[in-house]
Amino acid sequence: MSVTARFAELYGSGPDGVWAAPGRVNLIGEYTDFNDGFVMPLALPHTTVAAVSRRTDGVLRVHSADVPGGVMALGADDLVPLTETGWPAYPAGVVWALREAGHTVPGADIHLTSTVPTGAGLSSSAALEVVTALALNDLYELGLTGPELAVLAQRAENEFVGVPCGIMDQMASACCTDGHALYLDTRDLTQRQVPFDLEAVGLQLLVVDTRVKHALGDGAYAERRAGCEAGARALGVRTLREVEYAHLPAALARLTDEEEKIRRYVRHVVSDNHRVERVIALLDTDDVGAVGPVLTEGHTSLRDDLRVSCPELDLVVSSSLAAGALGARMTGGGFGGSAVVLTESADADTVTKAILESFTASEHTAPRVFPAVPSRGAHRVE
C-alpha cells in the first residue's frame, strides 16, 4: 500500500504532502565531528519517507510502518526532554526543537516508512529527524535552510532523545546531493559538494552492514568524546581541530603526563582530519583509486588508537583487502554497524563473496552488502 493510502487509512484523509530523507555512510573522517573537524559523508539511496498533514489543535500524532503498534498521540505543549521513550521521541524532539527556536508548529499527523536499516550505523535516526523537520518547515512555511534544519534535528537528538551525536548525520541527510560526497567542516558548517562518480572510473564503494551491535559500544562514544576534550584541554586548544597535522608529533610529545589513551585519541582525531584532506586532494585530482589505502589507514587508526572496532568489522577489512579491494574501513560509531569497501567494479563480486565466506567460516551472522550510490539529500516527494 502506498504511503499516502496508508496515511488516509490511519488518519481519515490524504496527507498535505510527502517528504523523503536519506540515510548516509561516511567515507572518511570518523569521531571528528565533535572535535570541530572534517567529515565526508554521502547520502544513500535508502530513505525515510513521511506523509504529513498540518494540525492546528496542538496534537502530534505519529505512526511508523516499521514498528509494531498503532498511532501515538502527544501534546505539542507537553513535550519535555528525556521523557519520551521509544521511537516517537525522534519526531517529537524535532517538534520540540522547532518550538524552542521560536517557530510556530501547532501539531501534525505523521505516517512514515523507511528503507534505511536501523541501528546499522547508517543514520536511520537522522533520516527520521530530518524528514520530520523538512516536512514541518514546508507545511508551516518556516523558511529554514538545510543546515538550519540539520542543527535543529541534532538538538532534538542531543537534548530531547538524549543521544550525544555530532552534526554529521543530520547535515548529510539534509544537504547531500546526487553523485557527490559532502566535504563538511563541522566547525562552521561550511561545505563543498565533491563529485563522487565512482562508476565513471570503474570503481564501487560497498557498504557492509555486519548486523551486529556490541554492548561495549554503549557509553564508548561519550567516553571517547570526554577523552578528546581532555586532550584538547591538556594541549590548551578549544578543540582538537586546532591541532595541525604537522604539529602532531610535538603535540603528542607534550602529552607525556596524560594517560596513554588520551594520546591515542588525539593521534586518531588529528590524523583522521588530515586523512579527509588527503582524500579531498585525491578526488580533486581524479586519483580516486588512491583513496583506498587512506581508508585502510583510517581503519587501523580507529582499531588501534580509538579502539572502537570489533572482530566483525576487522574481518570485513581483512577479507576484502585479501580479495583485492583497494581499501576498507569501519564507518560510523563502531562496535558493530557497517564498514565501507572501495573496490574495482570488476572485482566487486569476488570481494563480496570473500567477505561472505569469511563470515561463514568465522560463524558470524551473514552481513548485508550493497553498493553506496551517492544520492540526493532530503526533499519533497509530492
Residue 183 binds ligand ADP, judged by CB under 6 A: no
The grid coordinates listed for 214 are 556490541
Window contacting ligand ADP (CB under 6 A); options: 121-129, 197-205, 222-230, 256-264: 121-129
Residue 173 binds ligand ADP, judged by CB under 6 A: no
64 interacts with, out of Mg ion, ligand ADP, none, CB within 5 to 8 A per kind: ligand ADP
Determine the length of the chain: 382
Q: Are the beta carbons of 320 and 353 closer than 8 angstroms?
A: no
Grouping H, G, I as helix, E, B as strand and the rest as coil, residue 371 is strand
Residue 125 binds Mg ion, judged by CB under 5 A: yes
DSSP lists the bridge partners of residue 47 as 22
121 interacts with, out of ligand ADP, Mg ion, none, CB within 5 to 8 A per kind: ligand ADP
130 interacts with, out of Mg ion, ligand ADP, none, CB within 5 to 8 A per kind: none
In the complex, the smallest distance separating the C-beta of residue 23 from ligand ADP, rounded to whole angstroms, is 7
Residue 48 binds ligand ADP, judged by CB under 6 A: yes
Q: How many residues bind Mg ion (CB under 5 A)?
A: 1
Footprint on residues 74-93 left by ligand ADP (CB under 6 A): 87, 90
Q: Cell 523523503 identifies what position?
A: 20
Residue 114 binds ligand ADP, judged by CB under 6 A: yes
In the complex, the smallest distance separating the C-beta of residue 37 from Mg ion, rounded to whole angstroms, is 19
For residues 66 and 64, give the distance between their C-alpha atoms in angstroms, rounded to a whole number: 5
114 interacts with, out of ligand ADP, Mg ion, none, CB within 5 to 8 A per kind: ligand ADP
CA Rg, the chain, in Å? 21
Element holding 134 (H helix, E strand): helix 124-139
Phi and psi at 101, nearest 5°, equal -85, 5
For residues 278 and 271, give the distance between their C-alpha atoms in angstroms, rounded to a whole number: 10
Q: 245: buried, middle or exposed (CB in 10 Å: 19+, 13-18, 0-12)?
A: middle
Q: Are the beta carbons of 274 and 240 closer than 8 angstroms?
A: no
Residue 64 binds ligand ADP, judged by CB under 6 A: yes
In the complex, the smallest distance separating the C-beta of residue 322 from Mg ion, rounded to whole angstroms, is 31
In the complex with ligand ADP, the residue whose CB is nearer, 20 or 198, is 20
Query: Closest by alpha carbon to 262, among 237, 298, 228?
Result: 228
Q: Cell 560510523 identifies what position?
A: 332
Backbone region of residue 189 per phi and psi (left: phi > 0; alpha: psi in -120 to 50; beta: other values): left
Window contacting ligand ADP (CB under 6 A); options: 59-67, 140-148, 225-233, 278-286: 59-67
Q: Report the C-alpha dihedral over residues 222, 121, 335, 225, rounded to 10 degrees.
A: -20
In the complex with ligand ADP, the residue whose CB is nearer, 32 or 48, is 48
For residues 69 and 313, give the distance between their C-alpha atoms in angstroms, rounded to a whole number: 33
Residue 338 binds ligand ADP, judged by CB under 6 A: no
Active site residue 287: no
Chain Cα centroid distance, residue 263: 26
Residue 124 binds ligand ADP, judged by CB under 6 A: yes
Residue 162 binds ligand ADP, judged by CB under 6 A: no
158 interacts with, out of Mg ion, ligand ADP, none, CB within 5 to 8 A per kind: none
Q: Which residue is nearest to Mg ion (CB)?
A: 125
Window contacting Mg ion (CB under 5 A); options: 124-132, 206-214, 227-235, 264-272: 124-132
For residues 133 and 21, give the distance between their C-alpha atoms in angstroms, rounded to a whole number: 10
Contact with ligand ADP (CB under 6 A) among 40, 76, 128, 354: 128
Active-site choice (109, 169, 305, 347): 169
Sheet containing strand 327-331, edge to edge, reads 327-331, 336-344, 203-213, 368-371
Interface characters, 262-301, with ligand ADP (x: CB under 6 A): ----------------------------------------
Query: What are the residues binding ligand ADP (CB under 6 A)?
Result: 48, 64, 66-67, 87, 90, 112, 114, 118-125, 128
Query: What are the residues binding Mg ion (CB under 5 A)?
Result: 125
The residues annotated with a catalytic role in the active site are 169
